[in-house]
Structure 1
Amino acid sequence: MAVTQQLARVPAEYLAACRQEAGASPDGEFRWNPPAEDVLDLDWAPVLLERVCALAGLDDVLLHGLRRATEGDASVDVGFLATPPYAIGPFGPAPAALSPAGAAHVSELLGQIDLRAVLATLPAEETEAAALVGDGADGIAGGLRKYLLEHFHALRDFYREASRRQLLLVLWWD
């Protein structure tokens, strides 16, 4: 089974309730179960998106925003979500998060990235583009460009909705 990046949009109150559950439970159970419509499976697109944007020479501020979108930051402590035996994301780095303000800022930055223009900097031939990108890009069914556009738009729209609803973002690999 492949390890993929997961994102969840949650209200601060929900995260606080999970933290409180973990503290009150003898075994640290935090009852993490965000609604399915507020969870995004980004597959393994983050690595490829960052690689393509770096190859294209994307502005450092926008590239940093893309990284924050998939790595989070230290603004919200979600360490309790990494506590066995109920840890989410036991196969990757510890879960991370972004505050509502952080998510709004990332949403703004993602909205400034023209991924079609970024992808236009790759070689026109799909196999050449995939070879340049590396990281398994040659094995993507349906083509690298289509895959990255779909996943980037899903990420951008997910953040846009989190910003609109003033929600936290929690990120993990599972």
Structure 2
Amino acid sequence: MALTQQFARVTNEYLDRCRASALDSSDASPGWDPPDGDLLDTGWALWGLIHLCRSTGADPQVIALLDRAVSGDPDGDVGGMRDSWTTTRCTTVSAIRPGLLAPVAIADIAAALDRVRLGDLLADLPASTEVAAAVCEFGAGFDGAVREHLTEHFVAVREFYRAAARHAQCVVTWVD
């Protein structure tokens, strides 16, 4: 099973309930189950965009923005859920524990994503699917149009963060 980048939009109150559930549960289960409409799976597309940006010498601030959007903030602690996350939510042995972005960070990220000129980032993407997939580190088995794949998932993340900003939500990120 391939690893994929996951996102969830949740309120601080929801996180507090999950923390309390983890503390009260004999198996430290956070009761994590956000509505499907507040979940996003971007596969490995954003990692591919980050690899492309690094290989083409894109603005380091854009790379840092994309890294932050997929990783969360270093001090973004999911609290009592962190210890039980891998066993209760993630399905792979090598799953990466979650990151958290608070509503203030979400507003900043959403505004910054709106300023990203995706066309400029994709300008140096090779025309050949095989070469473009290699630059994005998608692997030899990638099947599809790389530019469209990157665009579709970047737009989805941008819209996801916009909605979270409008509703003053947190975003939890993880790899599953």
TM-score for the superposition, normalised by structure 2: 0.89
**Is 2:158 the partner of 1:164?**
no
CA contact (8 A) 1:50 1:67 kept: yes
Q: Percent identity?
A: 39
CA contact (8 A) 1:93 1:173 kept: yes
Question: Residues of 2 paired with 1:4 and 1:127: CA distance?
Answer: 21
Q: Of residues 150, 153, 156 in structure 2, which corresponds to 1:154?
A: 156
What's the counterpart of residue 71 of structure 1? Answer: 71
1:72-91 mapped onto 2 (5 Å cutoff): 72-84=72-84, 86-89=87-90, 91=94
Q: Deviations over 1:84-121 (max 9, x none)?
A: 47433353221111001111111111111122221121
Question: Residues of 1 paired with 2:129 and 2:29: CA distance?
Answer: 46
CA contact (8 A) 1:5 1:41 kept: yes
Shift of 1:19: 0.3
> For the structure 1 residues 96 and 86, does the alpha-carbon distance in structure 2 shift closer, same or farther, using more than 3 Å as the test?
same
CA contact (8 A) 2:19 2:79 kept: no
Question: Residues of 1 paired with 2:31 and 2:87: CA distance?
Answer: 9
What's the counterpart of residue 16 of structure 2? Answer: 16
Gaps of 5+ in 1: none
2:6 partner SS: strand
Gaps of 5+ in 2: none
What's the counterpart of residue 110 of structure 2? Answer: 107
Number of paired residues? Answer: 173
Question: Residues of 2 paired with 1:151 and 1:3: CA distance?
Answer: 15
Question: Residues of 2 paired with 1:18 and 1:64: CA distance?
Answer: 29
Question: Residues of 2 paired with 1:50 and 1:83: CA distance?
Answer: 28
Shift of 1:26: 2.0
Opposite residue 95 of structure 1, the aligned amino acid is P
Q: Of residues 124, 127, 134 in structure 2, which corresponds to 1:124?
A: 127
Q: After TM superposition, which residue ranges in structure 1, 4 or more long, deviate above 6 angstroms?
A: none
What's the RMSD between the two structures over aligned residues? Answer: 1.8
